[in-house]
Amino acid sequence: MNTSMATSKGIAQTLAQTHAGMLAGEPRIDDMSMQDQEAGWDVEHAGVLQACRQLGFLEHDAQCVAQAWRQQTLRTGHFSVADWPTQPQDFGLSAHPRDKAFAPCPRNLGLYAVLPDAQWVHRMAQTGVQTLQLRFKSEDPDAIRQQVRLAVQAVRGTDSLLFINDHWQIAIEEGAYGVHLGQEDMNDAPLAQLRLAGLRLGLSTHGYAEMLRADAACPSYLALGAIFPTTLKRMATAPQGLSRLNAYAQLMQHHPLVAIGGIDEERMPSVMQSGVGSIAVVRAITGAHQPEQTAKGLKHLIEKLQKTAPRSQNRSKTTL
């Protein structure tokens, strides 16, 4: 090892500089290397953990990366600052296919429109948008059921796939294609019941720890975000950026992947280069002056980009 990197602090500095593109959020500059070594980390991987903090990773995500880096070192027989871990086995992920997995959905979900009500679902289904999500917010159970029912009816006879946000019980009863849940919703939803009902399941993730938790549920697809800043909702995590998206897509290549958060037409080419099969949009359609025309344009753009973008499972190494 280079003598300038002989301490965990030196390793942290070198690694943070090498992977500067992974920076997101507020970096932590406090030196916890002694505490980490006392907790059982060797010098090299205590440096990795410290570097991840400097790159703005939340503590649980930093711990995931450091653990994976240690497994990568054991697997390859040497410690490398340059090689950010992206292999599923280093993160403890099981091989695919798996028993008790949710029903599959297309790997390339294309343009994924998140919509506020059934009328919007009808408009986008008639426009030919491949994947739709009804995100209807109400405290009225009757209104929720009516909207889900109308949305399910709206996609019949079309090629659109409809996911219902949160309202899993009504989605089962009304015959929806699938449901989409956030991390907090996973605690309450009976995932086994959803799987046995034949619903597809999409799960939101915002970093390594949430991706690993979601992967354990064997969902139909994973949503990765938020990639860029968005004003749609207050996020507990910082925008992840393209470098992290590239690493996430490489790690989770065995799942259909949807990128979400602040992705406009200009950013779509770089997002699709990560290997994801879908881009989710909200205001890009609902806030457009001509929503149908905008949706058609975005749909065609994503289809064009899919023909040239690399599939993440064919990429030997992620560009960070």
Q: Is 262 part of a structural domain of the chain?
A: yes
| Same domain flag for 33 and 179 | no
Q: Is pLDDT above 80 for 82?
A: yes
| Same domain flag for 251 and 148 | yes
Q: Is pLDDT above 70 for 72?
A: yes
Domain containing residue 167: CATH number: 3.20.20.70
Higher pLDDT pick, 315 / 116: 116
| Same domain flag for 264 and 180 | yes
Q: Is 95 part of a structural domain of the chain?
A: no
| Same domain flag for 34 and 115 | no
| Same domain flag for 74 and 114 | no
| Same domain flag for 304 and 177 | yes
| Same domain flag for 157 and 282 | yes
Instruction: Look at residue 30 in the predicted model and tell me its pLDDT.
Output: 73
Q: Amino acid identity, residue 81?
A: V
The helix/strand/coil state of 89 is: helix
What residue numbers bound the domain in which 282 lies?
110-314
Q: b or e along 302-312 (b: 16 or more beta carbons within 10 Å of the residue's beta carbon)?
A: beebeeebeeb
Higher pLDDT pick, 237 / 65: 65
| Same domain flag for 299 and 171 | yes
Q: Is 93 part of a structural domain of the chain?
A: no
Higher pLDDT pick, 28 / 168: 168
Cα–Cα nearest to 256, from 178, 318, 196: 178
Kindly give, in sequence order, each residue whose CB lies less than 8 Å from that of residue 305, ignoring residues fewer than 6 positions away.
268, 269, 272
Task: Return the beta strands (E) in the chain as ranges.
Answer: 110-115, 131-134, 161-165, 178-181, 200-205, 221-224, 257-260, 278-281
pLDDT tens figures, 240-298: 999 999 999 999 999 999 999 999 999 999 999 999 999 999 999 999 999 999 999 99
Cα-based distances in Å from 90 to 24, 86, 246? 23, 8, 17
- Cα 163 to Cα 169: distance, rounded to the nearest angstrom: 13
The helix/strand/coil state of 134 is: strand
Confidence grade of residue 4 (pLDDT, cut at 50, 70, 90): very low
pLDDT tens figures, 196-232: 999 999 999 999 999 999 999 999 999 999 999 987 6
User: Are 156 and 143 contacting, i.e. CB atoms less than 8 angstroms apart?
Assistant: no
What would the DSSP string read from start to end of 151-212? HHHHHTTSS-EEEEES-HHHHHHHT-SEEEE-TGGGGTS-HHHHHHTT-EEEEEE-SHHHHH
| Percent of the chain predicted with pLDDT > 90 | 84
Instruction: Look at residue 3 in the predicted model and tell me its pLDDT.
Output: 38
59-76 vs 43-54: helix crossing angle, rounded to 10: 140
Higher pLDDT pick, 318 / 299: 299
Find where tokens 């280093």 sit: 90
Instruction: Look at residue 237 in the predicted model and tell me its pLDDT.
Output: 84
Instruction: Look at residue 230 in the predicted model and tell me its pLDDT.
Output: 87
223 DSSP β-pair partners? 204, 258
153 φ, ψ to 5°?
-65, -35
Q: Is 92 part of a structural domain of the chain?
A: no
- Cα 5 to Cα 150: distance, rounded to the nearest angstrom: 62
**End-of-domain residue from the set 85, 101, 132:** 85
- pTM equals 0.93
pLDDT tens figures, 18-31: 999 999 988 887 76
For the residues 85-95, what does the mean pLDDT come to?
Answer: 97
| Same domain flag for 227 and 153 | yes
Q: Is pLDDT above 80 for 313?
A: no
Instruction: Look at residue 26 in the predicted model and tell me its pLDDT.
Output: 85
Confidence grade of residue 300 (pLDDT, cut at 50, 70, 90): very high
Kindly give, in sequence order, each residue whose CB lies less than 8 Å from that of residue 190, ignoring residues fewer than 6 positions away.
none
| Same domain flag for 147 and 226 | yes
Question: Chain-wide mean pLDDT for the chain?
Answer: 92
- Cα 75 to Cα 299: distance, rounded to the nearest angstrom: 42
Helices (DSSP H) in 188-290: which residue ranges?
191-196, 208-216, 241-251, 268-272, 283-286
Q: Is 204 part of a structural domain of the chain?
A: yes
Structurally, the chain folds into a number of domains equal to: 2
| Same domain flag for 118 and 74 | no
| Same domain flag for 144 and 253 | yes
User: Are 89 and 68 contacting, i.e. CB atoms less than 8 angstroms apart?
Assistant: no
**End-of-domain residue from the set 33, 68, 85:** 85
Q: Is 139 part of a structural domain of the chain?
A: yes
Q: Is 149 part of a structural domain of the chain?
A: yes
- Cα 234 to Cα 246: distance, rounded to the nearest angstrom: 24
208-216 vs 59-76: helix crossing angle, rounded to 10: 70
Q: Is 96 part of a structural domain of the chain?
A: no
